A and B are shown apart, each in its own frame.
Chain A
Amino acid sequence: MTSQYRMSVVWIFLLWIIVFIGIFWRQRWTLPLGIVGLLATVVFLKMNMDSTIPLNF
């Protein structure tokens, strides 16, 4: 399994669905899982940064 399959945006949205279930059922793991979702989003963003932006303009 390559890294792109391990880190697909579909998994991130599935994670958000689980987080929302946690909110509605008032589970204690909701917020930690939400932080995992944020970290996964950052990793997905990094994977899509495939071109450099010159910031010396």
Chain B
Amino acid sequence: MTTQVKIARGVNLLALFVLLGVLTGSLYLQFGQGEPPCPLCLVQRSGMVALAVGPFLNIFTGIKLRNYAFTILAACVGGAGSVRQILLHIATPGDPGYGPKVLGFHLYTWADITFLVAIVGVALLLMWPGQFAGNDGGVLGSPGVMRVLTIMVAAWYSIYLVIITIFTFTMCGVGMCPADPPETDYLSSTGALLAIGAAGILSLLIGIISNSRMRRR
């Protein structure tokens, strides 16, 4: 495995941590601030989950062109949802927008920026042929910090995905979601932060234990 493959894995892992941060922010607003996601927000959340598939495949199965291609497609789908929501609120005069603002922008604007940055980032990564040269079989065969962090972020994502699915089911059932869902207080602000911290610590433990068990085999 070449140094370039290691660097490319690091970049993909960094992207996963950034996406994890975005999902953490949206879940904190949902559970800590009582801001439930609207149907278009769920489209963007689905796009954000899909955006992580490419980097995960790159790290788990090896760096491949098709994984980057999937990331671009995911960013286009998620971006379509956020552009639709931005235009909806621009087109209605006097519309204050949906949900709270973070650093001056609504969450759907931040989502659109994230999808655009993903497309530009992948385009730049595709200009780097050295990452495809090595015989990369994925991170699971090489023990170390990278493997611990990869399993940690995978566990953290899995926890979030299960939580998102369960609470989407409680909100929408198996039908259409309410256009303007009522605010629901699940946790206090501190409780949500503690739950996020607990998910992180649990994921780190899963990473450390899995890494040591794989080493023993």
Q: Report which A residues bind B (CB closer than 8 A).
A: 4-5, 8-14, 16-17, 19-20, 23-24, 26, 30-31, 34-35, 37-38, 41-42, 44-45, 47-49, 51, 53-55, 57
Chain A residues within 8 Å of B154, by CB: 20, 23-24
Known contacts A9-B177, A23-B53, A44-B46: A17-B161 contact under CB 8 Å: yes
- Whole-angstrom distance between the alpha carbons of A37 and B173 in the complex? 19
Q: Report which B residues bind A (CB closer than 8 A).
A: 39-40, 42-43, 46-47, 49-50, 53, 56-57, 60-61, 66-67, 70, 73-74, 77-78, 80-81, 84, 87-88, 90-91, 138, 140, 154, 157-158, 161-162, 164-165, 168-169, 172-177
User: For the complex, would chain A's binding face be called helix, strand, loop or mixed by DSSP majority?
Assistant: helix
- A48-B39, A51-B88 given; 16 more Cβ-contact pairs under 8 Å: A8-B172, A8-B173, A8-B176, A16-B49, A19-B53, A20-B158, A23-B53, A23-B57, A23-B61, A26-B60, A34-B70, A41-B43, A44-B46, A45-B81, A45-B84, A53-B87
Structural contact, B70 and A35, CB atoms closer than 8 A? yes
Structural contact, B60 and A31, CB atoms closer than 8 A? no
Specify the chain B residue showing the minimal Cβ separation from A40.
B46
Specify the chain B residue showing the minimal Cβ separation from A28.
B61
Instruction: Give the number of residue pairs across the A-B interface with Cβ within 8 Å.
Output: 111
Chain B residues within 8 Å of A23, by CB: 53, 56-57, 60-61, 154
Structural contact, B43 and A45, CB atoms closer than 8 A? yes
Chain A residues within 8 Å of B173, by CB: 8, 10
- Whole-angstrom distance between the alpha carbons of A4 and B173 in the complex? 11
19 A-B residue pairs with CB within 8 Å: A11-B174, A12-B46, A13-B168, A14-B165, A17-B158, A17-B161, A20-B53, A23-B56, A23-B154, A26-B60, A26-B61, A30-B57, A31-B67, A44-B42, A44-B43, A45-B80, A45-B81, A45-B84, A55-B87
Chain B residues within 8 Å of A26, by CB: 60-61, 138, 140
